[in-house]
Chains A and B, each alone.
Chain A
Amino acid sequence: MALLDTKDVSINFGGLWAVKDVDFSIGTDEIVGLIGPNGSGKTTFLNIISGLYRATNGAVTLRGEDITSLRPFEIFQRGIARTYQSSRLCWDLSVADNILMGLYTKHKVGFADIIFRPKKADNEIYEFLQECMDMLSYFNPSLFKLRYDLTKNIPHIDRRRIEICRALVGHPTVLLLDEPTAGLNDEETMQMMMDIHKIKRKIKDICIIIIEHDMKVMERVPERIVVFNAGRKIAEGIYGDIVKDHDVINAYLGGAAV
């Protein structure tokens, strides 16, 4: 059974169908790439899955449960984590604080414990922090030393890693990566590709949806590619077939190039 399914998902922004009738499904332990020209609805589609937008029609189901009308924090609690095109870390919080937020839903201590049983609350944070640091060191051991630095002082690629750590530390079942290599140079892009492969090794059965413009990444990382154009899904298949597909070439390069 597929893990995450969307059926006829559409969203309308003031008369414009940003996403229209998209059927999509992804199973456990799978990496799927989303490509398409700018404005084709890729990020909107991720926003629908993560609950930031509510689909006008259609349904999103996770393991058979309808999550279409849930709010973002409820969807996260069910195991869908994401990163963003332009990173949404908190610049004025430390690296440790940012990643610790990824474990926010796992906290068990209540308000009374925080006031009356400080030891218990502190121990919990300590254990969580240890988990966060293990995750961070897994991607880049040198970041361990910078754990109490403000995130705004961290290099760009490491910010991307911190964002991925924040999404991963709670062990989600679905990870949505929105342009993880945006703003990275070639060498860093290679590192980021390695990191995405490392995710698979670290967390078993995780499924990843990745939006990317860099075709090098698309060739090597995803097992399957879905192409969007003008809000619709126009093609789906392995990389080799996709790059030969007429509709795809049309969408990317315009009719004249064919």
Chain B
Amino acid sequence: MTDLNRSPDSSGSQVVRMPEKILTIACNLLVFTLAFLMLRLPYKFSLTLVALVIVALLYIERSGAINAVFSLYIRNKKLAALSAIIFMLAIPVLLARFRYQSHIAVMSVIYAMVCLGVNFQMGSANMVNFAPAAFMGIGAYSMGVVTVKLGVSPWFGLLASIILCAAAGLLIGLPTLRTKGYYLSLVTMALQLAFTQLIKNIPYIGGPNGLSGVKALNIGGFSLYKSYTFFGAKLAPHFFYLIFCLLTLTVLYYVAVRVSISRYGLALNNIAQDEIAANCLGVNVSRYKLFAFLIGAVFCGIGGALYASLTSFVGPNDFTFARSLIFICMVILGGMDNPAGVLVGAFLLTVITEKLRDFSDYAQLIYALLLVIILVVRPSGLIPKRVRNYCALFGRELLPSPQQQDAENKSS
């Protein structure tokens, strides 16, 4: 906490600045190397690494290291963003020849999108939404119907997903306006269960058999999900798709971060903590709750559309209550109300589940165990939410008022 309050210019000479830039790049390199290794290594090493990272994250928080890294990134915003994007795009290149590892990477990116959406409701506004998989399903089925039944371009499918999910978010948000806490969760839970039953019983979209043959996204005649051969090396079909998903995630992450530091995020936080106070400060509470549902649903929908396009199949079993619980676990594990934390949570849990495929009997157990440990040791998640520090964010110090200066003159 003390680190956060330090003004951004307190260590401001150019001499100190230079290593800071190197440090920023080094931090990013470390993060993405770890991510790459977790994806690439065989399950024994990969899971050991995951365990080590979780322990390390739990441990270094005590010394304020996580906050220090965040402050570092904020002080060198542009450099941090640029280097992160470059390292991020290196991952698909390095994984280009590994089909399964690329698949895990794409899945974790899609789940991360959904989790960012859930975070608007769960993290910022404290409304536990048990229906993210339903929203994801709406997105996926929109994509499926548009490409399979109507036979038009998948880009229209993506557009339809966004529009339909926004509408569904509003529709599902409305009945939840009058409920709070557990009751709100129950309403969303019921909607999730109803959704699965509903799609099983609509023959037009395949009922329990689902829809197959969903088209992959393409640019002109160039399909994003297809195996290409470059200089004699056969690339995994996920190569371009992964790049596309990563870039989409970058955009969504940017939106999530902007919202969380803006007045929207502040109003949502205020509603989460004290609805009456927020109302008496001029916040239209209903509108903001709907906003959280709408934007969250759109994020889930984009994730769902990309998922359908990837697997080329949508079925009711992909969007069940159990899947919703996994998204909620990811958000809790990563850190509620911290978009960066949510990404980490989504990535780690996806890697754990995918790498444990051979032992899927034990996967649920390890999963539960991990969550219990996190909830006991650090309920706020691996990367807890941070206090907004506007000075650091804007790189401008606030001016002390005349009274402030008087008081300082008197004391000195």
Binding site for B on A (CB under 8 A): 50-52, 71-73, 76-77, 81-82, 84, 88-94, 96-97, 100-102, 104-105, 107, 109, 111, 114-115, 118, 121-122, 125-126, 129-130, 133-134, 137-138, 141-142, 144, 147-150, 166, 170
Contacts and interface: CB of A to CB of B under 8 A. Distances in A.
Interface in B274-288: 274, 276-285
Question: Which 4 pairs between the two chains have the least Cβ-Cβ distance?
Answer: A141-B407, A105-B282, A88-B277, A90-B273
Interface of B: 1, 4-5, 254-255, 258-259, 262-264, 266-267, 269-270, 273-274, 276-285, 387-391, 393-394, 396, 398-401, 403-404, 406-408
Given A104-B267, A126-B390, A133-B398, A148 B5 contact: yes
Contacts of A133: 398, 400-401
B281 A102 contact: yes
A104 B282 contact: yes
Nearest to B263: A107
B4 A148 contact: yes
A205 B267 CA distance: 29
**Most chain A CB neighbours (cut-off 10 Å) among B262, B276, B278, B400:** B262
Contact of B255 (A73, A115, A137, A149): A115
9 contacts: A72-B276, A73-B282, A73-B284, A92-B273, A93-B388, A101-B278, A137-B407, A148-B4, A149-B1
A141 B279 contact: no
Contacts of B398: 126, 129-130, 133, 147
Contact of A73 (B5, B264, B285, B403): B285
Given A93-B270, A115-B258, A76 B401 contact: no
Contacts, number: 132
A84 B277 contact: yes
Interface of B is mostly: helix
Given A73-B284, A144-B400, A90 B407 contact: no
B283 A129 contact: no
Interface of A is mostly: helix
Contact of B274 (A52, A88, A118, A137): A88
B390 A129 contact: yes
Nearest to A145: B5
A76 B278 CA distance: 10
A245 to B, nearest CB: 33
A89 B270 CA distance: 9
A209 to B, nearest CB: 15
A71 B279 contact: yes
A197 B130 CA distance: 50
Contact of B258 (A114, A142, A147): A114
A82 B266 CA distance: 20
A77 B282 CA distance: 6
A94 B1 CA distance: 11
Given A50-B280, A97-B266, A97-B388, A126 B400 contact: no
Contacts of B266: 93, 97, 100-101, 104
B402 to A, nearest CB: 8
